[in-house]
Structure 1
Amino acid sequence: MKVGFEIVGLVLFLLLSFGCKQSVKAPNEQEPLNPMVISDSLPWSERMALSVIKRHPEAWQTENDSVVKWNYKIGLLCTSFEELLKKTGNIKYSDYVEAYSQKVIDSSGQILNYRLKDYNIDMINSGKMLFYLYDKTNDERYLHALTTLRQQLKGHPRTKSGGFWHKKIYPNQMWLDGLYMGAPFYAAYNTRFENADKIDDIVKQFRLVYQNTYDQETGLLYHAWDESKQMEWADKLTGKSPGFWSRSMGWYMMAMVDVLDFIPEEHPGRDEIIGYLNKLSGALAKHQHNTGLWYQVTDLPNKEGNYLEASASCMFVYAFAKGHTKGYLPEKYYSLAQKAFNGIVGELVKIEEDGEIHLTQICGSAGLGGNPYRDGSFEYYVGETIKTDNLHGTGPFILAALSLDQ
């Protein structure tokens, strides 16, 4: 019997030892890779969103930064994910947004790396994603953050004519970009919490920018306007910047179709903005390349160094398609949007074997003034770094695909 017990004990010892050895990993041993495969049967919007998640499991990582930041580009991406949630009902997309928001907004509602007195209109944009999160969670942190951003607009410096400066460090300047960054949030907050008593002011922002950046010859809009006419890049008679940068007009186009969601039917400013949308759409249609895309510098397709740029093309698709669907633009613009999206997929999208997709030929960034100095010339715009999968492009790509139900 003793021998029998010893044999049984030895067997148990060996089994336990074997099991333990199987569960212990060497210090440098990693879990087996299990890469996400993205089906080509999914809509392009989801293929891009899942590709973003595959590359960056958390939204803050999408800027390829080592620290978490409140950032307008991540806000743009999160806005596109919220729209994707509405379309699909897949909480994967809202979870992605909420996880980011909880990292950049603490339990008291303080926003990470945000300084109200910088008066940077870019910082407003990410606030748009908080309306949904507040409704979903009823978490007061989101309401506090929304209120903080609204406070910024209340004290934000303005031109003498009443337009928001782009940033405190850019005095007296309105950039087309700033309309997307500030106006839709302003309108959403004002209609929800303030009885829509600032619609006139919101419409005025669009009017000031349109009237002071409009080019009579082309119908296009210059990137920016300096009311003081003191900036080195500004025309000394008009204050306009020197060139037509497509993405700046893309920001303005998206701002118009988004802000119209909040302007009451009976308000005269509604027709005013629809008028601007139609005029600029007509001008842009004349500059659409035969691939369906638009050049980085809109009006100089044959000049050496110019290139077909992804982010602006995606923004124009979104504005054209949404503009038609909402009844603001004639049907031809929906067709132009479809042509452009096909061009984006055919010319600028690269697909990996596992289904991950990449968007190429995205202008990394562009602006005016600053240090090092940016003069707004053709050479400046085409000389900025061209990137793949930059957030200026991936967020608008998802919105563009959704707007066409692609």
Structure 2
Amino acid sequence: MYLGRPWRAYAMTLFMNCQLPAIINPAGWENWRNPANEKTARYFEYANTGPGADRSRRVGWSHELTEVEAASIPLHRVFGDWDPMVNLNQQAYMALAKRVADAEMARNPMAWMIDFNKTPRWNYTHGVVCAALLDLWEATGDERYVQYVKAYADTAILADGSVGFNYKRSNYNLDHITPGTILFRLSATYGTEKYRLAIDFLRQQLREQPRTSVGGFWHKKVYPHQMWLDGLFMATPFLAQYAVFAKEPAAMDDAVKQLLLVAEKTFDPSTGLYTHAWDESKSQAWADPKTGKSHHFWGRSVGWYAMALVDALDFIPEDHPQRAAVIKVFGDLAQSLVRWQDAETGTWYQLLNLADRKADGNYLESSCSAMFVYALAKGVNQGYLDQAYMKAVYKGFRGILHHFLVFNPDGSLSITQTCSVAGLGGNPYRDGSFEYYISERVRQDDPKAIGPFIRACLELSKAH
């Protein structure tokens, strides 16, 4: 598949073996020669196979797409029922990762702008995207990605290593630990003292973090006695990496404890899934009065947990007495994710086990789908899962391409159909009902889908 003329520097090659001169629509060819159209023309073709083999099924334009046209062209319309995974190779996965990353950076010239922010912020969404960009930098050597992340850290971290912007330690918000993961690589690369000091600064928050009676981190000070699956991704990969960084075995034990404790408190044996949260006090309206569990299996919360497991395992030592237990939890979760994967599209629902309530508003959601593809692919690459899981990985990635990726008028890629946010309690009160989870706004270009998608592409590139 080519976008634009393949011999132009601005054209992006995703699929090879095109024979454009022999099969391109002559009218479109002539229009391309018009300088006004050259950089905006779009034509999709694949040699003499797939939809391009039948002129009636070709999709092509020789003019700049309007917003209405672009919004109506997800990849599944371009390819029909032809499988765009057929010729994806390492370079193609890398090209997709770069294309999505470059679009996100273009939308947000400064990283603090990520997540539609108008003022500088230090939050988990910045950490999710910036960590993915560092992965992309390591995979490609493209300095643009690390410089973008470094500029964010240099602006947010003060000379004494404290965090500026909106950070306030007394809030004891686990969401504010997540961006700290980028500091380990920046410190190792540049040796800047304030990066090391900031790592210790964030570690101190976790030393002081309020806990349940059994030692689980409260998600935030404003959510007392509560562990949320989200918080496991926000804190435990950082804590596990800190344990290695600072040679602090107790920090590793604590990270593993958090991962296993939340599994114990939120696991549902009938589905093999984990509920969004657990309230030790059993006082919240969203909590089961007997177990303290919330009532639904929110896709992204399970996605956060799946990523927390595989990312923390990067640092949990081979000889740690509970490493095998963490791998077991991840393996069991992987089985359940395959069980609840949508058979038709390969993606996953906002509420994972309620496909039968699609008519009531449940929908296929992009961020959890990207998270699951990433976690499963990484699980296979790292040897935690059998190679057979790649079938679900490819099916999921294919579904993302078909149903969530769209072309913008400028040729950039966007990810659609992302739940903007979901939580429990607070003001106004979120009751954890089905109606609540499907009521939250759905949007495009959300960092919680973009970061995991980039990382999924990189894991798939390693599998080839």
TM norm. shorter chain > 0.5: yes
| CA distance, structure 2, for counterparts of residue 261 and residue 204 of structure 1 | 16
CA contact (8 A) 1:134 1:140 kept: yes
CA contact (8 A) 2:239 2:252 kept: no
1:184 aligns with 2:237: yes
Structure 1 unaligned residues grouped into runs of 5+:
1-35
Q: Which has the higher mean CA deviation after the structures are superposed, 137-146 or 88-97?
A: 137-146
- Tell me how far 1:354 sits from its aligned partner: 3.8
For 2:124, the equivalent position in structure 1 comes to 72
Of 325, 331, 340, the residue aligned with 1:278 is 331
Could you tell me the percent identity over the aligned residues? 46
- Tell me how far 1:401 sits from its aligned partner: 0.9
1:140 aligns with 2:193: yes
Alignment of 1:1-400 (within 5 A): 37=10, 39-41=12-14, 43-112=95-164, 113-289=166-342, 290-303=344-357, 304-400=360-456
| CA distance, structure 2, for counterparts of residue 61 and residue 38 of structure 1 | 28
| CA distance, structure 1, for counterparts of residue 116 and residue 287 of structure 2 | 34
What secondary structure, in the 3-state scheme, does the structure 2 residue paired with 1:218 have? coil
What secondary structure, in the 3-state scheme, does the structure 2 residue paired with 1:229 have? coil
- Tell me how far 1:144 sits from its aligned partner: 1.3
| CA distance, structure 1, for counterparts of residue 361 and residue 271 of structure 2 | 21
- Tell me how far 1:388 sits from its aligned partner: 0.2
Task: Encode CA deviations 1:98-126: one digit per residue, 9 max, x unaligned.
Answer: 11111211233221121111111111000
| CA distance, structure 1, for counterparts of residue 408 and residue 429 of structure 2 | 38
- Tell me how far 1:322 sits from its aligned partner: 0.2
- Tell me how far 1:204 sits from its aligned partner: 1.2
- Tell me how far 1:71 sits from its aligned partner: 1.3
| CA distance, structure 1, for counterparts of residue 447 and residue 400 of structure 2 | 16
What secondary structure, in the 3-state scheme, does the structure 1 residue paired with 2:273 have? coil
Task: Encode CA deviations 1:321-373: one digit per residue, 9 max, x unaligned.
Answer: 00011000111222211110111011110013543000000000000000010
| CA distance, structure 2, for counterparts of residue 267 and residue 38 of structure 1 | 49
Moved over 4 A (4+): none
What secondary structure, in the 3-state scheme, does the structure 2 residue paired with 1:234 have? coil
CA contact (8 A) 1:37 1:356 kept: no
Task: Encode CA deviations 1:268-322: one digit per residue, 9 max, x unaligned.
Answer: 2111011000111111111111211000010111212011000000000010000
| CA distance, structure 1, for counterparts of residue 117 and residue 272 of structure 2 | 39
| CA distance, structure 2, for counterparts of residue 38 and residue 114 of structure 1 | 42
Q: CA RMSD in A?
A: 1.4
| CA distance, structure 2, for counterparts of residue 40 and residue 156 of structure 1 | 48
What code does the residue aligned with 1:366 have?
A
| CA distance, structure 2, for counterparts of residue 220 and residue 66 of structure 1 | 37
| CA distance, structure 2, for counterparts of residue 218 and residue 67 of structure 1 | 41
Q: Taking structure 2 as the reference length, what is the TM-score of the superposition?
A: 0.78
For 1:7, the equivalent position in structure 2 comes to none
For 1:18, the equivalent position in structure 2 comes to none
Structure 2 unaligned residues grouped into runs of 5+:
1-8, 15-91
What code does the residue aligned with 1:47 have?
R
CA contact (8 A) 1:360 1:389 kept: yes
For 2:22, the equivalent position in structure 1 comes to none
What code does the residue aligned with 2:183 have?
L
CA contact (8 A) 2:114 2:125 kept: no
Q: Taking structure 1 as the reference length, what is the TM-score of the superposition?
A: 0.89
CA contact (8 A) 1:40 1:47 kept: no
What secondary structure, in the 3-state scheme, does the structure 2 residue paired with 1:264 have? coil
Task: Encode CA deviations 1:224-243: one digit per residue, 9 max, x unaligned.
Answer: 00111111111010000011
| CA distance, structure 2, for counterparts of residue 187 and residue 402 of structure 1 | 22
Structure 1 residues 38 and 208 mapped into 2: Cα distance closer, same or farther (>3 Å)? Answer: farther
What code does the residue aligned with 2:127 have?
G
What code does the residue aligned with 1:386 have?
V
What secondary structure, in the 3-state scheme, does the structure 1 residue paired with 2:406 have? strand
What secondary structure, in the 3-state scheme, does the structure 1 residue paired with 2:274 have? coil
